[in-house]
Structure 1
């Protein structure tokens, strides 16, 4: 379905309105039939039924007023944009809707059509505002995000309280990220329609100074993707090196200017796969389309990008590398949002139950002196003597907890940042600094480790103290476990984006390290989302 076809449909609506939805065609008997049809159709939905009862069953779509016509036209125009948003166009079936409008002859038919239009509008509006998938956890259990769903009354009252076009236009995420993703989607669709990026680059390793057919293929691919100006060079020269470096930076690869195996794999990834990533990213952006946005100050951790960032008033003000959960399903970092309200300097590490029974209990059964850097604690907080055997305990019956006291070898390092949640996930320091130099940083048990935790703390404390570094360091030097509350809690968003944008430059792409985007795409495809007009 093309945009032009939809716009023709909007014009047809006006003609249909003039012919069939005028007050003159709705006599007293037909009005009663209209009300009967509406009442019957809405009987299974209390919220829609309440809306129409409060209006005395007056129509909002199928009446003969200018306001009704404006709402019908605005809805059809909005539906004509569904493809640009990566929504399932066929689901809304605008052609069938137009045909049905043209066939209305009775008050009962008009009442039935009235409710159908309301249901279609609500379905489309929710898809556009908060996502086609209203329960991401049903796709992957680690996506525990609470979708900011609105009540039916929000959509119906909003449609009547504002101009229809303005209200419908406000539903999609109003973020710069969403707008740039829409542009990236259109660019990729244009690329696909015009043959893609050409032949793939033969497998191998290509370095500055190399020549041959592989270099020509690499050159042509980089030109097609917009990383290299047109050139006839057949040598891996400075211009190709710079282009490879920029490509590597935009794809989360080690930036060395050498086109090795990982870089060639990413270069050979086609525009169809990239388009899927962009469409999934748009859906994920709708999942966090909450009233008030992400927060004037907020923390954003993109799990695929292995970075934690602080934003103030839409501007990036701090960034550090991160390590996230391992790829094993029981160690992956979940996706959710919460509020950080305090940090703990010189923290103790209270070992999660899953680690106690999964990793440490088997060692304690064989040797009660194992993992001696950890204290074994009873339910009253007392340290348990290791002069006993733990061989009799099972995963279910082990009654103790375990704790590592503050110190230079503490697993949490010198500070942890808390946004209390039922998943026991937080941000923290670590002694395993070498992991931050890795390209793929999936090594934790689920929490997020930070490369520059002290600087992160200074940034968080800056709004509430004139000397954040001095304040932090004085508590650190004391060696005592110290809780420091944030005067203003900061929203934290753990997101998962294999495609995201920056204000300038190419769209960024990352590997689907947990395989979640593949599952989200499959769910979108099952819902009717298409790639470049072809179900894929």
Structure 2
């Protein structure tokens, strides 16, 4: 490829990648500077042939503009062929597409005509060279398939995410720019979809597809009592078989004895399932082991779909809260710094899935009691006990049929000693809590919708780390004031509140969690109908 064409392609890729969502692009002008001399091959076709192709292949109708723009940029030079025949990038893309179809059992983008043409061309019989019309048909089919593949795998299924409670804006893609990259860089890895989490989770699709056909997963009966190290029972033989197939048990002696190896396997499995990690097998663990592998496979596919919606990964600072995991992950320059246990909303008061920017820390906060709680809890409490407000360190700010009530700062304040604000339409924020004992629970959905933070001081120290005046002592003091103190951050930090029930952790271990808000159930109806 000529240097001029490489530079031109890079500039085009950057141009399209930087386009603002929702804004129309300028019309693409045919680049007549690309000729047989400046291009990497001498294969060109007449523009009228593209229009005829699109007329006969209605499955690519939604990509008509992308087709024309892509080939105008190239002055209608072939992209998938060169003077020697089928180019490397064509084989790379076809392998990528076939792997997707096989791994996900998704034949919706399979094109038998393209498959037949590629097989015929790859036979490379010198006495029967493919006709020019076959080559062009293959060229344009590869482009159309790339557009379909990219739209499906990068963007995801045509689902209204907001119907499923997901309010993080879905990622926008430019299939034209992706195709530029595919042709320019040739390697499939250069434009592999999504982020590192997507790729790590995708690696488990084939394994769980295989496990879903495995015959060794006999149902495990409920236990009359928990099993511990040293116990002996026939059910242990079945449990060991399950853990061996899943990869948690390194070696299976087939005995009914609860030995040290089984303790280690049990702890590993409990960690992956979000259970209490104690090495004791109880009925909660048995329930997880009895989840059918077909259901686990669907769980992986559902979460891969969600990952397609996520914005691209960036090497920046951000906070991510995964609701089913009950965990906050804090990233600095794209690298995980630490995790903090959190408490999220109950199923009746579910925490909203969205993203925003954290802008303020409020030390010693007032709690402005929501009207629903005033009606449902406080007013009935006042009727029973006239000293209810004083007992709970509350005061009426504004009288009325439903008075405006707030709780003053202090150790008993429902928001604890500090809150973290990222102003949003859902009235969701992070805050401390006086009920510290709840963080020891393995399942932590107890709040009215906001997110309670297990280590609020640690989070405050991290957010204020660039300001040397905010010492540990100063933060402690600010958390025990009589009036609240607002501290704006010098630089806001993105916050993502997400919902993933399957993911791969930093140690490469596949994790599953319960579908506490039934979002997976609703999504399964959309994906697997």
TM-score (norm 1): 0.76
1:503-514 mapped onto 2 (5 Å cutoff)? 503-504=506-507, 506-514=509-517
3-state SS, counterpart of residue 291 of structure 2: coil
Per-residue CA deviations over 1:399-430 (Å, capped at 9, x if unaligned) read x6443332222211111111222111111101
Corresponding residue of 2:169: 146
- Please give the alpha-carbon distance, in whole angstroms, between the structure 2 residues aligned to 1:67 and 1:445: 63
Tell whether the 8 Å contact from 2:369 to 2:406 is kept in structure 1 after alignment.
yes
Q: Structure 1: which 5+ runs fail to align?
A: 1-21, 377-382, 391-397, 527-536
- Please give the alpha-carbon distance, in whole angstroms, between the structure 1 residues aligned to 2:154 and 2:62: 24
Corresponding residue of 2:111: 94
CA RMSD of aligned residues (A): 3.8
- Please give the alpha-carbon distance, in whole angstroms, between the structure 1 residues aligned to 2:182 and 2:521: 35
- Please give the alpha-carbon distance, in whole angstroms, between the structure 1 residues aligned to 2:501 and 2:77: 44
- Please give the alpha-carbon distance, in whole angstroms, between the structure 1 residues aligned to 2:503 and 2:145: 30
- Please give the alpha-carbon distance, in whole angstroms, between the structure 1 residues aligned to 2:371 and 2:72: 53
1:56-75 mapped onto 2 (5 Å cutoff)? 58=76, 69=87, 72-75=90-93
Tell whether the 8 Å contact from 2:181 to 2:190 is kept in structure 1 after alignment.
no
Per-residue CA deviations over 1:25-54 (Å, capped at 9, x if unaligned) read 97xxx7645445558979877843762685
Corresponding residue of 1:343: 361
Q: 1:153 to 1:420 in 2, by over 3 A?
A: farther
Corresponding residue of 1:132: 157
Q: Which of structures 1 and 2 has the larger relative contact order (alpha carbons within 8 angstroms, sep 6+)?
A: 1
Tell whether the 8 Å contact from 2:350 to 2:449 is kept in structure 1 after alignment.
yes
1:101-500 mapped onto 2 (5 Å cutoff)? 118-138=143-163, 140=164, 142-159=165-182, 162-166=184-188, 169-175=190-196, 177-193=197-213, 195-204=214-223, 205-208=225-228, 209-228=230-249, 229-290=251-312, 293-328=313-348, 331-353=349-371, 355-356=373-374, 359=376, 363=380, 372=389, 374-376=394-396, 383-385=397-399, 390=401, 401-465=404-468, 468-500=471-503
Tell whether the 8 Å contact from 1:325 to 1:333 is kept in structure 2 after alignment.
yes
TM-score (norm 2): 0.77
Q: 1:211 to 1:37 in 2, by over 3 A?
A: closer
- Please give the alpha-carbon distance, in whole angstroms, between the structure 1 residues aligned to 2:111 and 2:160: 26
Per-residue CA deviations over 1:317-372 (Å, capped at 9, x if unaligned) read 222211101012xx111222222122111112233455456x35874997896963
Q: Structure 2: which 5+ runs fail to align?
A: 1-40, 122-129
- Please give the alpha-carbon distance, in whole angstroms, between the structure 1 residues aligned to 2:294 and 2:482: 54
Tell whether the 8 Å contact from 1:364 to 1:370 is kept in structure 2 after alignment.
no
Which range moved further: 515-524 or 40-49?
40-49
- Please give the alpha-carbon distance, in whole angstroms, between the structure 2 residues aligned to 1:350 and 1:115: 62
Q: 1:354 to 1:143 in 2, by over 3 A?
A: farther
Corresponding residue of 1:395: none
- Please give the alpha-carbon distance, in whole angstroms, between the structure 1 residues aligned to 2:354 and 2:416: 24
Q: 1:283 to 1:468 in 2, by over 3 A?
A: farther
Q: CA deviation at 1:249?
A: 2.0
- Please give the alpha-carbon distance, in whole angstroms, between the structure 1 residues aligned to 2:309 and 2:368: 32
Tell whether the 8 Å contact from 2:208 to 2:297 is kept in structure 1 after alignment.
yes
Corresponding residue of 1:16: none
3-state SS, counterpart of residue 107 of structure 2: helix
- Please give the alpha-carbon distance, in whole angstroms, between the structure 2 residues aligned to 1:319 and 1:62: 46
3-state SS, counterpart of residue 478 of structure 1: coil
Per-residue CA deviations over 1:181-213 (Å, capped at 9, x if unaligned) read 1222232233334x2543222211332243232
Q: 1:283 to 1:416 in 2, by over 3 A?
A: same
- Please give the alpha-carbon distance, in whole angstroms, between the structure 1 residues aligned to 2:369 and 2:77: 60
Q: CA deviation at 1:146?
A: 0.8
Tell whether the 8 Å contact from 1:349 to 1:403 is kept in structure 2 after alignment.
yes
Per-residue CA deviations over 1:74-132 (Å, capped at 9, x if unaligned) read 4423311214664x63111221433578899998x999987765443223112222323
1:8-23 mapped onto 2 (5 Å cutoff)? none
